[in-house]
Structure 1
Amino acid sequence: MTRLRHVLGRARFFVREFSGEAAYDHYVAHARAHDPDAAVPSRREFERARTDAREGDPRTGFRCC
């Protein structure tokens, strides 16, 4: 049973990393490490800014839908 949990935990880790879901967690950890008193945006604000930056980059093109 513990082996299965370990394997599932590792699979979850890789899925979160490859899908970008863990980006906010990494951002918060980085912000807290560099300035613990700084205001950290909510996940919604972070994702909105991330999407805006991605869509505003002319090298990647524009989202069609």
Structure 2
Amino acid sequence: MTTLTKAARGALWWITSVMGDHDYARYVAHLQRRHPDAVIPTEREYWRNRHAEADANPGPRCC
């Protein structure tokens, strides 16, 4: 793999991480590791709950 390919993949990984693309997968891995008996929500339920909590308690943010 060339250096340019490695750099492009690294940049793509970083951008998708910042945008939250890996959040659901990370959450599912956490549940499976720390709470094996917990019900795993669907991805749609995860995002709905995440945004509902943010809207209910926005905290410090610009928008």
TM-score range, shorter chain: 0.7 to 0.9
Partner residue, 2:51? 51
Partner residue, 1:5? 5
TM-score (norm 1): 0.74
For 2:2 and 2:58, the matched residues in 1 are separated by: 47
DSSP-derived class of the 1:40 partner: coil
- In the TM superposition, what is the alpha-carbon distance from 1:22 to its structure 2 partner? 1.3
- Following TM superposition, the consecutive aligned residue runs of length 4 or more in structure 1 with deviations greater than 2 angstroms are 1-5, 35-38, 58-61
Structure 2: gaps (5+ residues):
none
Partner residue, 1:38? 38
Number of equivalenced pairs: 62
- In the TM superposition, what is the alpha-carbon distance from 1:4 to its structure 2 partner? 3.2
Counterpart contact for 1:54–1:60, Cα < 8 Å: no
For 2:5 and 2:60, the matched residues in 1 are separated by: 38
State the superposition RMSD in angstroms. 2.1
Q: Between the two proteins, what is the percent identity of the paired residues? A: 31
For 2:2 and 2:35, the matched residues in 1 are separated by: 37
DSSP-derived class of the 1:21 partner: coil
TM-score (norm 2): 0.76
Structure 1: gaps (5+ residues):
none
